[in-house]
Structure 1
Amino acid sequence: MSDAIEIDVCALGDLAVEEGRTYVVADEQLALFRMRDDTVHALGAVCPHRGGPIADGQCDEAVVWCPLHAFGYDLATGACVNGDFRLPRFDARVEDGRVVVTVPE
């Protein structure tokens, strides 16, 4: 991303494994998901289909399912696995027990 900033969002321990949590970061609504290996994925928090809260969806190691209409989104890419939608994806990493996300400036 050009003109991007890195923001410390939360402690890794604030995220339950394979459950989403929504944060507002630099005017972006993000859904963060912690995996079993303690990696973190960051996607846009609002389903483009009908505005469903992505962080409230069920997920596994690869896909999160929108709780409203069951559109599935690949956690690594944001691409919809069963429709023509896409969620924004943001780079996320864990550094010293903290989740750092890169967002547009």
Structure 2
Amino acid sequence: MSWIDLGAIEDVPLRGARVVKTPVGCVALFRTAEAEVFATSNTCAHRNGPLSEGIVHDRKVTCPLHNWVWSLETGEAQGADEGQIATYPVMVENGRILIEGDSVRKRNAA
């Protein structure tokens, strides 16, 4: 696996988000704890809301448009809602956020 350095963990506010542009579209980085970060699509599967502008709580984010809740771990909708958002492998190493390169390098042909 190849990892891409996205910056310092301090660049993402605690219980907040930051957006990075990739060949697969905008990826949202969510910092849920001092050294815990998740990466997902920035687009809500319900109405294309910007998830990075939502409320981060526990290991979930609530979309700012219609309050749909998404698991940052699995990408699955929570509660009575149905759907899935893309998630990407990410890790924190020496205070740096790294995302798995192959997952964001190019779009898959569909």
TM-score, scaled relative to structure 1 = 0.88
Unaligned runs of 5+ in 1: none
CA contact (8 A) 1:79 1:85 kept: yes
Task: State percent identity of aligned pairs.
Answer: 28
Instruction: Report the AA paired with residue 98 of structure 1.
Output: R
In structure 2, C-alpha distance between the alignment counterparts of 1:64 and 1:25, rounded to whole Å: 21
1:28 and 2:25 matched: yes
Deviation at 1:43, TM superposition (A): 0.7
The residue that corresponds to 1:99 in the other structure is 97
**TM-superposition CA deviations, 1:7-63 (whole Å, max 9, x none):** 111211100001111111234311111122411000110011111000000011221
Instruction: Report the AA paired with residue 95 of structure 1.
Output: E
The residue that corresponds to 2:108 in the other structure is none
The residue that corresponds to 2:52 in the other structure is 55
Instruction: Give runs of ≥4 in structure 1 deviating > 2 Å.
Output: 25-28
Deviation at 1:87, TM superposition (A): 0.7
Instruction: Count matched residues.
Output: 102
CA contact (8 A) 1:9 1:25 kept: no
The range that moved more, 64-73 or 79-88, is 79-88
CA contact (8 A) 1:43 1:75 kept: yes
Match of 2:74 among 73, 77, 80: 77
Deviation at 1:99, TM superposition (A): 0.4
CA contact (8 A) 2:32 2:59 kept: no
